[in-house]
Structure 1
Amino acid sequence: MHNITIGALRGLLLVTGLGLATAGAAQAQAPDASKFITNKRHYMFPQRDAESPAVQNVTKNTDEDADVNGTYTRLAYRPYAQMLTEIDELRRLHTWADTTYQRRLAALPAGGALQVTIRRKGPGSANLSNLVITATDKAGQEVFKIVPPATPGRFFGRDLYQAQGLIALPKLEPQDLKVRVGDAKLYLAFEYVVAVPPVPAP
């Protein structure tokens, strides 16, 4: 059972009300991520994200140095089962009518969602549309490529601006995906391993 926080519930309520960015929406606009240099700062062993255990951080994307130099890039994964649990809790808290619940339920992405957070120097650099997110399977075949919609950053502190968004994923087979987040402003790419769990039967 996933722990449910008020912040997570509010986030899901906002997401289900406004809709998620879809995985296939911007494939044609994706820049050539192969030209991005992979962040040279690597962990000796991939580090599991403290709040999103399905994600392992391969390159050093969220440490103090990344926060200072404006390369902070955090990827979290919210499985379908977790989002379903949260929407059931929202139904209980808000006493939704059945039609409202069904509408919210239908809006949940079958493959769960990626939550992306970046902190960059200067307001123009912190925009999710600068990113291209590519996932490949164990055989190296591309599973999806996403350019998030424009999501301008807000002032975070010092000279940093933060942008954050949720990206809906299609239904995926249970597997470990290598996910590469490239930034067209920095010409850097950050790497992760995301463990996709089975989607529970309805």
Structure 2
Amino acid sequence: MRSFLLLSLLLLGAGSVLAQPTGKAAKGRKRYTFAQRDSESPYVQNVTKNTDEEQEVDGSFTRLGYRSAADMLKEIDALRKLKDWADSTYQRRLAAIPPGGALVVTVHRQGPKGVEMSNLTLTVTDKAGKEVFAQTLPAGTGRFFGRDLYQGKTVLPFPKMEAQELNVSIRDAKLYQTFDYILTLPAAQ
């Protein structure tokens, strides 16, 4: 009886070990207990742990930022006061502002080929889980950032939406990792 109990415990333990993912897929991102505000973008909160310390460990840092159309308009107006722009330059910059703002995706990866932006897929869902925006980032290479890290940056125009809280996931197909964020869209001004 005792050997039967011991054997069944060993088999249960072996079964649970076999059921867990192995290899690259097992390397998931740790999550915060409470979402953390991003230091650069007041509209974004990090759900997965994605800090400079982890960048030192595995060389995979991904940051999501959001710039509202109102913020970009203020910046262009301030630049117009500082610089001697012609009206055509101001009108061109004004027309280039996306009505819903822009998402800014910044990544740091090891090696020059690790920064291939087309490996990233960005998916935005609302609180009900309905997909409202999805895009594979356009191809692009990065620039040297320091030591063996390279930085890539992409700005994506975002569709105009009412003020709400959205879930954003950035999936890296090469690293088999997903970076999660909460985006709080501001009210239109």
TM-score range relative to shorter protein: 0.7 to 0.9
Report the AA paired with residue 97 of structure 1. Answer: A
Paired residue for 2:153?
164
Counterpart of 1:41?
A: 30
Contact 1:39 1:59 in 2 (8 A): no
How high is the TM-score relative to the length of structure 1?
Answer: 0.77
> 2:29·2:177 contact (CA, 8 Å) conserved in 1?
no
Structure 1: runs of 5+ lacking an equivalent? 1-35
Aligned length: 165
Residue 146 in structure 1 maps to residue 140 in structure 2: no
Which residue of structure 1 aligns with residue 92 of structure 2?
Answer: 103
Provide closer, same or farther for how the CA distance between residues 168 and 67 of structure 1 changes in structure 2, counting only shifts above 3 A: farther
Deviation string 1:37-77 (CA, Å, 9 cap, x unpaired) is: 89430111111001211100000122412343111001111
- Pairing of 1:1-202 with structure 2 (within 5 A): 39-200=28-189
Gapped runs of 5+ residues in structure 2? 1-24
Question: Following TM superposition, by how much is the alpha carbon of 1:162 offset from its aligned partner in structure 2, in angstroms?
Answer: 1.1
**Aligned partner letter, 1:72:** F
1-side partners of 2:28 and 2:67: how far apart?
Answer: 25
- Specify the alignment match of 1:6 in structure 2: none
Q: 1:37 to 1:81 in 2, by over 3 A?
A: farther
- One-letter code of the match for 1:149? P
Deviation at 1:142, TM superposition (A): 0.4
CA distance in 1, matches of 2:137, 2:74: 25
What residue identity is the alignment partner of 2:90? Y
2:184 match: secondary structure: strand
Structure-2 separation of matches of 1:49 and 1:79? 15
RMSD: 1.6
- Identity among equivalent positions (%) equals 56
Amino acid at match of 1:132: T
* Higher RCO structure (Cα 8 Å, ≥6 apart): 1
* Runs of at least 4 residues off by over 6 Å: none
Q: Name the TM-score, length of structure 2 as normaliser.
A: 0.82
Does the 8 Å contact 1:37/1:189 carry over to 2? no
Q: Distance in 1 between matches of 2:95 and 2:179?
A: 32
Distance 1:39-1:191 versus aligned 2 partners, 3 A rule: farther
Q: State the distance in 1 between where 2:26 and 2:63 align.
A: 18
Amino acid at match of 1:119: H
1:165 deviates by: 1.9
Q: Look up the SS of the partner of 1:100 in the other structure.
A: helix
Q: CA deviation at 1:158?
A: 2.2
